[in-house]
Structure 1
Amino acid sequence: MASALDEDTQQSLAEGRESAKAFLRSIQKDLQKVFVVFLLGFLATFWALRVYVWEFLYTVTKSNMSPAVAAEADVIATTPFEVILLQAKIGLIVGAITAIPPLIYVSRDELRARGAWPKSPVSRWKLAAMGLLGVGLFTVGVGYGVYAFFPIMFSFLAGFGLEAGIQPTYSIVMWTEFIVFLSLSFGLAGQMPLLITGLSYSGIVQYETFRDKWRYAIVAIFVFGAVFSPPDPFTQLMWAFPLIALYGFSLYLAKLVVTAQRSSDGIDVLGSVRNHWNVVGGAALLGGGLVYAFYEYGGRTAFNDLLRLANSDWRFLEPGAGLGVDPATAAGVYAFAWGLAFVGVATLWAVYVDLDTTSAGYQYGDPTAIDVGELDAAGVLAAPGDVFTEMDEEESIALAQAAIEDDDPEKARAILDRFDEVNSGDEGEEGSDDASGDAAGAGGPGGAGESGDQDGLVGTMQDRTSRASSTFLSELTDGNEDEAEDDIGGYYTDLKFIFDSLRSRSFRLVAVFGGVMAAAFTWLYLGGLATVRNDLEQRVPAEIEGGINIISLHPVEALIFMVKFSVLLGIVAVFPVVLYYAWPALRERGFVAGRLSQVYLWTGALLGGLLGGFALGYTYIAPGLLGWLVTDARLADMVITYQVSDFLWLVVYTTIGIGFLADIPILMLLLNNAGVPYDVFRSRWREVTVGIMLFAAVFTPADVITMFLATLPLMAAYGLGVGLLFLVTFGGRRNLSPPSKVVDR
């Protein structure tokens, strides 16, 4: 292994090891203290989990369930040492996190000596304020997940499982990890204000980037929620809305910090309140008045009626209920508290407005603080050159592209011209030669007018982008692209040509995939899963009492299966559409032969094989196999309880899987008709076998037996296809179509 590393790398690794040894020796006398802190954190966590946490999490899980659903839901241990090992694992993690601060503290002198400690002093009160803010945000995020998100989510998951005939019997490991990871995700999401503010203040990521890309942030929040939370609309909104509000608050803090940094102004909170006393006072009256009216004029009753219709056990209580306080006094206290909250929001707004309008970078100060994206074309041309000196070519292209998307080609042209003018050293002239020539050719006499100007602008941007991104292939082949085509066998060019032919059809492909996936998921979600489960259970032999008990060990196990199955159907549905649009390019590059009408033959043949195999599997193979397994288990006096994912994937493999097996010989006949000769299929059986084993290793459970159970039928189907081709082509003497050009490469 060492010989694979060059001498400099080996020397660097050796120096790193010596430095680490010296570092540990220097703090050796203090490591015992760090270990004591670790041990205390480990033991405290282990004890808390055993005495309090399990019962607390179990209560949270069932807190919002109806009595009927709560009676069916349960948490189980599937191995004898599962609980104690889980407690030890969590204790080790918490103990390690607890030991990090004292480890850093005892290492401060060594870190300072090695230059790894901040040189510029930071006030302790600032560090304490940031630490408290971080802990507070993390606590609020975790609290929201535990007390608001999880109760409603588990109620939905358990109810959905029971409706589909799936017992919500969660494994304690999967259940705990699900709660812990989602709680951590909420807690880490709560750090968003600190993260965005820190990145903006340090200049690693400009504040304007976070501000201008807010649409992408919202989409990312919803996508993340769609992956890690149940797919019903209510929990999606419960996930997304707090994070969107937190992102807006993060932008606010970043704006304050960055504006103050650029303008060197202080933040005068009291001065801002005095300047906008009418707004702050109006906010106090509005907040207090709304809360008082909510309790006094029927708002509480109306909300409780809505919650009752939604089958929620949560209710708004009367003011002071359970606190021993008079309702009128309690309503006044509530109104005063909410009035203060509204005053806080109004104060934040006032500070933002005052700091923004007095920003030196905004009006007359630091020229590099000017946001080019907010200027019009005239403002771009009049902006100081320092703005563009600090800008690189990629930033100018991005700003120009944004202007084009906003239907402002004049501004885009101004940005590119001004960037060229400043960075070529010709500031003060009318613009660079190329830019002036482009502008004159596009908009001057004899030009193509506004349309021509925009086309020329797009061409200029494409040239710039090409210059910035065309080095990959040349670096791969030492600048010789012809040699690249020879090295890769021409397939790079072929595949690029085929993918380019599909690019203009990508919207239709995504629409087909998304439509089929959404339809399949909706059908399963609205009762299809229960229909399939009940239909198969009816085929169980009559002597097996009670049928099959199917349980869900993970809270979202059934939903994950539904998503995966829907994606599988979407891929199957979009395949003929991709083939239809790619056929001309495939034929031009020599991969296939025949007219476009061949696509209809392919689609009909493959669909017929898939449906025929599915019908055979669903009618005979799946019920027969399940009946044999159930009978065998019952005769051995076993309790028949299957995990939902294993049971459903067994059904898929023995139904749709049979259709895929039937399609393998059909596909081989179609490929022979498209120009792939019989000799290729016969001589490439080794490569096909390796590919099948890799496929089985990825898409089957992680054990050797199931891998071979999937591999052998696929190899048998391939062998059947070779036999059919042998008969059809008379041993390869007369193929269905002449060999295509790609075979000769």
Structure 2
Amino acid sequence: MASALDEDTQQSLAAGRESAKAFLRSIQKDLQKVFIVFLLGFLGTFWALRIYVWDFLKAVTEANMTPEIAEQTEIIAQTPFEVILLQAKIGLIIGGIFALPPLIYFARDELRARGMWPQSPVPRWKIAAIGLLGAGLFTVGVAYGVYAFFPIMFSFLAGFGLEAGLQPTYSIVMWTEFIVFLSLSFGLAGQMPLLVTGLSYSGIVPYETFRDKWRYAVVAIFVFGALFSPPDPFTQLMWAFPLIALYGFSLYLAKVVVTAKRSSDRIDVAAAVRNHWNVVAGAGVLGGGVLYAFYEYGGRTGANDLLRWAGSDWRFLPPGEGLGLDPVTAAGVYAVGWALAFAFVATLWAVYRDLDTTSPGSQYGDPTALDVSELDAAGVLAAPDEPFVEMTEEESVALAGAALEADAPEKARAILDRYDAIADLSGDGDGSSDGGDSDGASGSSAGGSGGSGGLADDVGDRTSRASSTFLSELTEGDDDDDDIGGYYTDLRFIFDSLRSRSFRIVAVFGGVMALAFTWLYLGGLATVRADLEARVPAEVDGGINIITLHPVEALIFMVKFSVLLGLIAVFPVVLYYAWPALRERGFVAGRLRQVYVWTGALFAGLIGGFALGYGYIAPGIIGWLVTDAADANMIITYQVSDFLWLVIFTTIGIGFLADIPVAMVLLNKAGVPYEALRGRWREVTVGILLFAAVFTPADVITMFMMTVPLMAAYGVGLGVLFLVTFGGRRNLSPPAEIVGR
């Protein structure tokens, strides 16, 4: 049988096998040592988990809880071998991490021979310094998560769950993985200074990119914190502020090393301290004074009041309490520590200041590293050609646009003139850009107060031309409606019609989502749970016990449910704005008032189905399930996500089922014939499976339990259309143009 792999692939695999064999042969005599290190890491982790770690993590979880909440918080094992398998898995991972450094060390000769090891010797002190810095940052990040973030977060989660009638009964696997992975995220976040500095120094990502995009970094940090931390503002600020400060420190280190590299200057800490000894000494005195004022003038009391208001049990103790030191000695130690910390920050500033002001322009040893955005109009005109040679049209337009936003039209005109001049010299200009006169100075002056409007139009034209290049190449020659180019043009036309209204669409979606989440968060979840539990048959003792196996399981459900309601609410808005474009491109038929018919019919079906489900179907199904379990003498304990999704499926889900036949009739009225809906049942099935995979728990059976009723409703819709259209012979509207393509 012929091989399925081509010759080049087979040769690459053979070379890889030979490399692996040579690598293993080179370290064969040392594999026993590596295995011993691995075994020690595995056994040590296994022993530590049994003797110390579980109790430590439980203590961290309950550190900030009230005694009442801590008493009701439990960690459970769901299967007999769950704990020991979890210990073995963690032990294998830690053992592998322990064994990796000696493995690399023993294989250094083979790695060097294959060009995977630095050929020139690297001073060991530099390697040790980088390793110690990385380990220190990682340790600080993990310590912050374990000792500061987790106690407050778990206290909030457990208290919120109990208020909503949810028992905080965490699965040991989910609970451990949540703590471990979130701790690792803090530890890896602590590596941000090394990562940013390394990328900037190597030139992979310029320092200016990290500096200019700091707003995006701040937004990303807050978004990540909103997704992976409780929704209370105090916890989110505890997540975001340290990472923002760390990003600022990363920018500082990157600026220092990049400036030193570009100017070929050496970092001399001692000389910087001598040059700015007054600032360093003053910062040290200020640090000691801040500490003194904190304890002597009510700072400790104010901080403790703030912590008490935030619900934290942490308090700032008087000097020396808990350390076995008298107050005077402890205050002196604290003052020295703060003075050194302030002096250290001042030293960093001194180093930065000396590097940044060594000589005019020395920070740009490489002309291509010149940051055009930092120059004024005269500086742009006097700058060397290298930055503009490396510049693309999109970059020049972006720089000119930023200058216009900063009310500097002369600078914007100068940037466009310099780029056009370089493009003309290199033969890349197409003659279509009339960014200014051939004389850069006259163009600059023309872009003054009187010509800002024309300059803005020029920037807009260039932006449109640059952004349309890819789209035009994608659809070039694809005007035929039978191929993908024609469909792409139609979809782009429709999306362009929505883009100008995107703010309203996002506002409706975000507003409904925020209202739904706020209602659930402020007691709606507990209200629904109590109302449904009241409908349970009276002979079931104890009601329904609903537990959270994962610390943020209830919050994840609330977010998913809020997104679902936001999508439902935004659908008529999108349909209203997209209808003219849909009609123009032949997707639908009928006037705009059809949107009101669609909205009324779909919402009537949804609300009617919801009322039927909430009033009769959901209580009936839940009551039957609870009674069946009680008759078998079982303890009724449901996982919160499974129970609440059952409620959603049997309430709003009934409304969706009712809407499917209604929507099919509306589509037929809009120009989608019966034959098209009947012939596309495979695509509909795939779409329903994808929808179920996103909006149901991670369970295949549950996904199919949702898919089958939806497909049944689709079948009912086909039956209704068969009757209404007489088997497809009389559609409610003529087929839309898109159907014939």
TM-score by length of 2: 0.94
CA distance in 2, matches of 1:366, 1:743: 59
**Structure 2 equivalent of residue 47 of structure 1:** 47
Query: Offset of 1:732 from its aligned partner?
Result: 2.9
1:90 matched residue in structure 2: 90
Query: CA offsets, 1:130-171, max 9 Å, x none?
Result: 000000000000000000000000000000000000000000
**Larger mean Cα displacement after TM superposition, 356-365 or 240-249:** 356-365
Distance 2:701 2:277 in 1: 76
TM superposition shift of 1:228: 1.4
> Partner residue of 1:373?
373
Residue number in structure 2 paired with 1:149: 149
Inter-CA distance 524–695: structure 2 relative to 1 (3 Å threshold)? closer
Shift of the 689–296 alpha-carbon distance from structure 1 to 2, 3 Å rule, reads closer
Match of 1:738 among 734, 738, 741: 734
Q: Which amino acid aligns with 1:538?
A: A
Conservation of the 8 A alpha-carbon contact between 1:361 and 1:367:
no
**Distance in 1 between the 2:202 and 2:395 partners?**
18
Q: Report how far residue 615 of structure 1 moved.
A: 0.5
Of 529, 535, 548 in structure 1, the residue corresponding to residue 531 of structure 2 is 535
CA contact (8 A) 1:517 1:566 kept: yes
Distance 1:554 1:456 in 2: 55
2:604 paired with 1:608: yes
1:513 aligns with 2:509: yes
Conserved in 2, the CA contact under 8 Å of 1:288 and 1:339?
yes
- Whole-angstrom CA distance in 1 between matches of 2:119 and 2:196: 23
Q: 1:563 to 1:3 in 2, by over 3 A?
A: same
Give the 3-state SS of the residue equivalent to 1:343 in structure 2.
Answer: helix
Distance 1:691 1:340, change over 3 A: closer
Larger deviation, residues 291-300 vs 725-734? 725-734
1:744, distance to aligned residue in structure 2 (A): 1.3
Q: 1:503 corresponds to which letter in structure 2?
A: R
Say whether 1:638 aligns with 2:634: yes
Partner of 1:455: 457
Aligned residue for 1:473? Answer: 474
The match for 2:168 is: 168
Distance across 2 between alignment mates of 1:203 and 1:684: 52
Give 3-state SS (helix, strand or coil) of 1:75's partner. Answer: strand
The answer to whether the 8 A contact 2:368-2:390 is kept is yes
Name the residue aligned to 1:583. 579
- 1:358 match: 358
Q: Which residue is equivalent to 1:195? A: 195
Distance 1:567 1:693, change over 3 A: closer
User: Match for 2:596: what amino acid?
Assistant: Y
Is 2:68 aligned against 1:65? Answer: no
Alignment of structure 1 residues 672-711 onto 2, 5 Å: 672-689=668-685, 691-693=687-689, 695-696=691-692, 699-701=695-697, 705-711=701-707
Distance 1:711 1:426 in 2: 60
In 2, distance between residues paired with 1:355 and 1:707?
Answer: 61
Say if 1:361 and 1:369, in contact at 8 Å, map to a contact too. no
Deviation at 1:658, TM superposition (A): 0.2
How far apart are 1:426 and its partner, in Å?
Answer: 7.5
1:549 Cα deviation (Å)?
Answer: 0.1
Structure 1 distance, partners of 2:56, 2:473, is: 55
Partners of 1:259 and 1:359 within 8 A in 2: no
- 8 A contact 2:138–2:190 mirrored in 1: yes
CA deviation profile, 1:715-738 (whole Å, cap 9, x unmatched): 221222222223323333332212
Give per-residue Cα distances to partners, 1:435-464, cap 9 Å, x unaligned: 88431499869x993312221232134324
Question: Hey, what does 1:115 align to over in structure 2?
Answer: 115
Give the direction of change, closer, same or farther, for the CA distance of 1:291–1:617 in structure 2 (3 Å limit): same
Q: Distance in 1 between matches of 2:682 and 2:207?
A: 56
For 1:530, the aligned partner's letter is A
The verdict on how the C-alpha distance between 1:251 and 1:448 changes in structure 2, with shifts beyond 3 A counting, is closer
User: Are 1:69 and 1:159, in contact at CA under 8 Å, matched by a contact in 2?
Assistant: yes
1:72 maps to a residue whose letter is Q
**Which stretch shows the higher mean deviation, 580-589 or 396-405?**
396-405
Partner of 1:438: 435
2:562 paired with 1:566? yes
Work out whether residues 196 and 250 of structure 2, in 8 Å CA contact, stay in contact via their aligned partners in 1: yes
What is the rounded CA distance, in whole Å, between the counterparts of 2:67 and 2:240 in structure 1?
29
- Following superposition, the deviation at residue 666 of structure 1 comes to 0.7
What is the aligned counterpart of 2:546 among 520, 539, 550?
A: 550
Q: For residue 545 of structure 1, give the secondary structure of its aligned residue in structure 2.
A: coil
SS where residue 436 of structure 2 aligns? helix
Report which stretch shifted further, 716-725 or 552-561: 716-725
Distance 1:665 1:466, change over 3 A: closer
Indicate how the Cα distance of structure 1 residues 74 and 438 shifts in structure 2: closer, same or farther if over 3 A, else same: same
Q: Deviation per CA, 1:302-340, whole angstroms, max 9, x where unpaired?
A: 322333344432211111113332212321221222112
Q: Report the alpha carbon displacement of residue 646 of structure 1 after superposing the two structures with TM.
A: 0.2
Does the 8 A contact of 1:27 with 1:106 survive in 2?
Answer: yes
SS in 1 for 2:482: helix
CA deviations over 1:99-146 (Å, ceiling 9, x no partner): 110111111111111111112321110010000000000000000000
Q: Which residue of 1 aligns with 2:667?
A: 671
Range with bigger deviation, 3-12 or 590-599: 3-12
Pair 706,29 (structure 1): closer, same or farther in 2 beyond 3 Å: same
Distance 1:201 1:697, change over 3 A: closer
User: How much has 1:701 moved relative to structure 2?
Assistant: 4.9
2:219 aligned partner, one-letter code: V
Q: CA deviation at 1:410?
A: 3.1
What secondary structure, in the 3-state scheme, does the structure 2 residue paired with 1:438 have? coil
8 Å contact kept, 1:260–1:359: no
What is the CA-CA distance between 1:707 and the residue it aligns to?
A: 4.1
Counterpart residue number, 1:128? 128
| CA shift in 2, pair 1:229/1:434, >3 Å | same
Task: Look up the equivalent residue of 1:184 and give its one-letter code.
Answer: L
C-alpha displacement of 1:524? 0.3
1:645 maps to amino acid: S
Structure 2 match to 1:304: 304
Distance in 1 (CA, whole Å) between partners of 2:310 and 2:125 is 47
3-state secondary structure, aligned to 2:435: helix
Q: Is the 8 A contact 1:262 1:361 kept in 2?
A: no
Alpha-carbon distance, 1:698 to partner: 5.5
Kindly state the Cα deviation for residue 408 of structure 1 after the two structures are TM-superposed.
Answer: 3.1
When structure 1 is superposed on structure 2, of 722-731 and 508-517 the one drifting more is 722-731
Q: Structure 1 residues 436, 82: closer, same or farther in 2, change over 3 A?
A: closer
Amino acid aligned to 1:626: I
**Shift of residue 402, structure 1, vs aligned partner:** 2.9
Tell me whether 1:596 sits opposite 2:598 in the alignment: no
| Secondary structure, aligned partner of 2:586 | coil
1:189-338 aligned within 5 A: 189-338=189-338
Residue by residue, what CA displacement relative to the aligned partner does 1:375-429 show, whole Å, maximum 9, x if unpaired? 01221110112333344555434433433443434323322322343354479xx
The one-letter amino acid paired with 1:386 is E
What is the CA–CA distance in structure 2 between the aligned matches of 1:609 and 1:450, rounded to whole Å? 55
Alpha-carbon distance in structure 1 between the residues aligned to 2:590 and 2:630: 56
Equivalents in 2 of 1:184, 1:411: separation in Å?
46
Secondary structure at the aligned position of 1:550 is classed as strand
Distance 1:453 1:40, change over 3 A: same
**Per-residue deviation, residues 263-296 of structure 1 (Å, max 9, x unmatched):** 1112222322233233222212211112112212
What is the match of residue 717 of structure 2? 721
Point out the more displaced range, 220-229 or 653-662.
220-229
Q: With structure 1 as the length reference, what TM-score do the two structures score?
A: 0.94
Local SS of the residue matching 1:205: coil
Contact 1:361 1:368 in 2 (8 A): no
The answer to whether the 8 A contact 2:478-2:486 is kept is no
Question: Secondary structure of 2:205's match?
Answer: coil
C-alpha change, 1:339 and 1:26, in structure 2 (3 Å) is closer
Q: Is the Cα contact below 8 Å between 2:263 and 2:364 reproduced in 1?
A: no
- 1-structure distance, mates of 2:430, 2:721: 66
Q: Which runs of 5+ in 1 are unaligned?
A: none
Instruction: Give the number of aligned pairs.
Output: 735
